[in-house]
Structure 1
Amino acid sequence: MAVPQLTVDERSNALLKAQEMRSKRMELRKKLKSGEIKLTELLNDLDNEVVARMRVKYLLESLPQVGKITAKKIMEDIGIDESRRIQGLGHRQKSFLLEKLA
């Protein structure tokens, strides 16, 4: 499949949108780390595009006292691929995550 040719305006709009999404995701991760937002709230907020498109790996690493190694181990135990996004999680995977981290 060929990459679509974008105009200069379309390209700059896409870059601005990507930058905005990264900023929102960073804010969300900070709130999760500080405890302002709970994991259950995020897993149930799939209408929010920022949450839905976040990788599970980064979500877990944003939790207090969960680093890269712990996040990887949790994902391996549950059977979640490293590239999986939150919107792609099944009901069982979500419940296992909540069970492990509650």
Structure 2
Amino acid sequence: MNRVLEAIIGTRRKRTAHSIDVEGITMALPALTAQQRAEALAKAQRARKARAELLAGLKAGTVQLPEVFERAETDEVVRKTRIIAVIKALPGVGPVRAAELMRGCEIADSRRVGGVGSAQRTALLAAVS
């Protein structure tokens, strides 16, 4: 009887603290040594700091939007920053205006700076200028 039920509903593996679910398939994550974990935490902290500096520069007006797109070509942190966060960091742009700009330029909410197409980039730069 159990085999019939397993065949119908499938067997489920429980997610553990060291597994990830990708497209319905549970995969075990590699166990990290203490040094690897420390390095990963340090890298994540550097990325958060660099992202915060970028957004603060936008808000202060010391960094312009075209510069962000230029930096995205070489800087992984900038490339992986969500475009909605960049737009919200612009002076005078809040959540509502940012959503309007995203909609008007046909940019998905989940899009990151590196994933914005050239037509979307041009439309966004024109809308912000």
TM-score, structure 2 length as denominator? 0.74
When the two chains are superposed, the root-mean-square deviation of aligned CA atoms in Å is: 1.1
What runs of 5+ residues in structure 2 fail to find an aligned partner? 1-26
Aligned to 2:111: 84
Number of residues of Structure 1 aligned to a counterpart in Structure 2: 102
What runs of 5+ residues in structure 1 fail to find an aligned partner? none
TM-score, structure 1 length as denominator? 0.92
Distance 1:5 1:62 in 2: 37
Distance 1:75 1:11 in 2: 36
Aligned to 1:59: 86
2:31 is the alignment partner of 1:25: no
Higher strand residue share: 2
Compare CA radii of gyration and give the structure with the larger one. 2
Q: The residue matched to 2:28 in structure 1 has which SS?
A: coil
In the TM superposition, residue 5 of structure 1 has moved relative to its aligned partner by 2.2
Distance 1:78 1:30 in 2: 24
